[in-house]
A and B are shown apart, each in its own frame.
Chain A
């Protein structure tokens, strides 16, 4: 399969091409910022995550394997990981969550993003809620069960069912 523009940029970054970094930022900063904002609900903290992710991209570009996923997926994984780290550090300092930014203000970047949103809308509200607590708040299965007032077994089954439905919906998708 031919190399995509984004894959080419990552390859250039791995070769130490500093000029490619600006172009890579222009392509993907909104994606990283949107996800960090959704998790952290704080614009300043989200911007810090953007900075951290692009530093990591620059340092680890040689480790990116296009056979394992797209650059977007790679960025989402890094952004989520760093945002959840900050969320946990914040939670250990204060009890009340800061709800300063509303959910779902982001614009889907392409058809793949629209397909993911559509797949999520295909879940039941209970399934979606449990998945959101897992993905955007980084809760464990026990914490989700406690938050929703449901037995652990019910939550595990519910999330597993949701993940199977998402996998069926998204597997045919071309990256």
Chain B
């Protein structure tokens, strides 16, 4: 009979089964489970009854038909059975004797051909495996290239604005809940473009984003939403319309992810055009 699980570790069992324990909880639970059959059984029960079945909720989505031969052939090269020999039952005895003599040579050739076909199949599956790996590498490189292209465009924008006749640099200071945040907007009224560089902005909570506002008289003009990276930095390019080009103040607030038409959330950055 397995002993009853110790209470504190029994509480961790479902979390352990889900794989979400970290830090001291994780170390303590894994060490304990090594010696306590009750807690091990409790964790395994949560895994069997709940965790291993949760994936069923996602539902089925058939992959493209082209995937099947790639998977089945490259995994088990002999999975496609060799074609069967044709039936000789309808022939008479003499005819089948004559056929037996001449077909000996044909059978040898057929065996040769089958050996060659098997060799080609093996080579094909090897090439398919190689193509799959190259495809993975290519996908990874594409992702890196996309990220690098974004950064290159940002650098070009900075160059274009900075080298123009009316480049302005407006500093913004941290406000309200983010006193440690800071930013500068490099912008040009004639180019109707700007680029905001911020630091000390923690990643926005779930479902939220930062939104830039340009205040040039009456109501604040929305100037795009952006997110910050894990290190607190953010870069956001802005298109300034004719009215926004007469900006007097820039501000950043925390808004719903899709942005707002007017500021509703707390202000985190603000700066006046000097």
Residues on the B chain within 8 Å of A73, using CB: 48, 52-53
Interface of A, secondary structure class, is helix
User: Which of the candidate stretches B70-78, B163-171, B178-186 sits at the interface with the other chain?
Assistant: B70-78
Q: Mark A25-52, 1 if CB is under 8 A from B, else 0.
A: 1100111011101110000111110110
Cβ-defined contact, B53 with A163, below 8 A: no
- A14 located at the interface, meaning its Cβ lies under 8 Å from any Cβ of chain B in the complex: no
Known pairs A160-B14, A163-B46; A135 contacts B59 (CB<8 A): no
Residues of A in contact (CB 8 Å), total 74
Q: Give the one of B11, B55, B140, B143 with max A CB within 10 A.
A: B55
- B265 located at the interface, meaning its Cβ lies under 8 Å from any Cβ of chain A in the complex: no
Residues on the A chain within 8 Å of B23, using CB: 142
Known pairs A30-B62, A106-B61; A159 contacts B14 (CB<8 A): yes
Report the minimum CB–CB distance from A107 to chain B (whole Å). 5
Known pairs A58-B75, A76-B53, A163-B46; A30 contacts B63 (CB<8 A): yes
Instruction: For B206, give the chain A residue with the smallest CB separation.
Output: A147
Cβ-defined contact, B52 with A30, below 8 A: no
- B50 located at the interface, meaning its Cβ lies under 8 Å from any Cβ of chain A in the complex: yes
Cβ-defined contact, A21 with B79, below 8 A: yes
- A154 located at the interface, meaning its Cβ lies under 8 Å from any Cβ of chain B in the complex: no
Name B71-119 residues within 8 Å CB distance of A. Answer: 71-72, 74-76, 78-79, 81
Interface of B, secondary structure class, is helix
Choice from B53, B63, B71, B135 contacting A116 with Cβ under 8 Å: B53
A29 to B20, CA, bound (A): 27
- B261 located at the interface, meaning its Cβ lies under 8 Å from any Cβ of chain A in the complex: no
Interface size class of B (residues with CB under 8 A): 35 or more
Cβ-defined contact, B50 with A37, below 8 A: no
Residues on the A chain within 8 Å of B7, using CB: none
Q: Mark A147-175, 1 if CB is under 8 A from B, else 0.
A: 11100000010011001101100110000
Known pairs A141-B15, A170-B49; A54 contacts B71 (CB<8 A): yes
A75 to B136, CA, bound (A): 22
Name B227-245 residues within 8 Å CB distance of A. Answer: 227, 229-230
Cβ-defined contact, A135 with B54, below 8 A: yes
Cβ-defined contact, B18 with A47, below 8 A: no
Cβ-defined contact, B53 with A109, below 8 A: no
Cβ-defined contact, A76 with B52, below 8 A: yes
Known pairs A30-B62, A159-B14, A167-B49; A116 contacts B57 (CB<8 A): yes
Closest A-B pairs by Cβ, 3 of them: A106-B59, A76-B55, A163-B14
Point out residues on B near A: beta carbons under 8 Å.
11, 14-15, 17-23, 25, 45-46, 48-64, 67-68, 70-72, 74-76, 78-79, 81, 132, 135-136, 139-140, 143-144, 147, 205-206, 227, 229-230
Q: List 15 A-B contacts (CB under 8 A).
A: A25-B71, A25-B72, A29-B71, A34-B61, A44-B139, A51-B74, A104-B59, A108-B59, A108-B60, A109-B59, A109-B60, A135-B55, A159-B15, A160-B15, A163-B46
